Amino acid sequence: MTQQTRCTYCGAQDLEPGFLDDPRGSGATKWIAGRLERGPLGGARRLGRLRREVHALRCTTCGHLELFALRE
Ligand SMILES: [Zn+2]
């Protein structure tokens, strides 16, 4: 992925892989399909929704992040 990917902000090709941490420590933030809906306690409804791990590539020239929601 990194060899064919360019920074959409500055056009540089040197993108550094990483991920977005989450407060519960699962190791990666997830992308959840569909509009955000909240349950009675205020948490986001996730049940039965398609989910993908978010992969973050950081441009080493300008720091811009490119995010990809890939299959797990
Ligand atoms: Zn850049």
Per-residue CA distances from 18 to 9, 28, 63, 66 (Å): 18, 10, 12, 10
Position 65 scores a pLDDT of: 94
∠ at Cα 59 (57, 64), nearest 5°?
Answer: 90
Q: 47 CA to middle of ligand 1, Å? A: 36
Q: How many CA atoms lie within 13 A of 18 on its CB side?
A: 13
Position 1 scores a pLDDT of: 53
Q: 1 CA to middle of ligand 1, Å? A: 16
pLDDT tens digits, residue range 46-64? 889 888 888 899 999 999 9
Model pTM score: 0.69
